[in-house]
Structure 1
Amino acid sequence: MNDSARREQILEAADRLLRHYGPQKTTVADVAREAGVGVGTVYLEFPSKEAIVEELSRSRYEVVLASMREAVKADGRSYGERLVGALDARLRAYFTQANGGAHACDLFHCGSPAVKSASERFYQEEHALLVDLLRQGTEAGELDVAAPELAARVILRAYKSFTPPWIFMEARDEVEKLSAAMHAIVLGGVLGRR
Structure 2
Amino acid sequence: MNDTARREQILQAADRLLRHYGPQKTTVADVAREAGVGVGTVYLEFTSKEAIVEELSRSRYEVVLDAMRVAAAADGRSFGERLVGALDARLRAYFTQADGGAHACDLFHCGSPAVKSASERFYQEECALLADLLRRGTEAGELDVADPDLTARVILRAYKSFTPPWIFMEERDEVVRLSAAMHAIVLGGVVARK
Q: Hey, what's the Cα distance between the residues in 1 that align with 2:97 and 2:117?
A: 19
For the pair 1:78 / 2:59, whether they are aligned, the reply is: no
State the one-letter code of the partner of 1:153: R
C-alpha distance in 2, partners of 1:132/1:101? 34
Distance 1:127 1:171 in 2: 27
Q: 1:69 and 2:61 equivalent? A: no
| Residue 148 of structure 2 corresponds to residue 143 of structure 1 | no
Offset, 1:150: 0.6
Equivalent residues, number:
194
Distance 2:73 2:36 in 1: 42
Q: Which runs of 4+ in 1 moved over 6 A?
A: none
CA positional deviation for 1:103:
0.1
| CA apart distance, 1:178 | 0.0
1:11-26 counterparts in 2 under 5 A? 11-26=11-26
Residue matched to 1:156 = 156
Unaligned segments of structure 1, at least 5 residues: none
1:123 matched residue in structure 2: 123
Please tell me the root mean square deviation across aligned C-alpha atoms, in Å: 0.2
| 1:90 shift after superposition | 0.1
Q: 1:162: Cα distance to partner? A: 0.1
The separation in 2 between residues aligned to 1:113 and 1:146, in whole angstroms, is 35
Deviations along 1:163-185, one digit per CA (max 9) or x if unpaired, are 00000000000000000000000
The equivalent of 2:88 in structure 1 is: 88
Alignment partner of 1:143: what SS?
coil
Looking at structure 2, the residues matched to 35 and 151 of structure 1 have their Cα atoms a distance apart, in angstroms, of: 45
**What is the Cα deviation at residue 74 of structure 1?**
0.3
Q: What letter corresponds to residue 169 of structure 2 in structure 1? A: M
What TM-score comes out, normalization by structure 1 length? Answer: 1.00
Partners of 1:105 and 1:33 in 2: CA distance? 23
Displacement of 1:31 in angstroms is 0.1
User: Which amino acid in 2 is paired with 1:191?
Assistant: V
Task: Give secondary structure in 1 for the equivalent of 2:193.
Answer: coil
Aligned to 1:38: 38
Q: What's the CA shift string for 1:21-54, capped at 9, x where partnerless? A: 0000000000000000000000000000000000
Matched residue SS, 2:88: helix
C-alpha separation between the residues in 1 aligned to 2:43 and 2:173?
A: 43
Alignment identity in percent? 89
Aligned-partner Cα distance in 2 for 1:152–1:68: 14
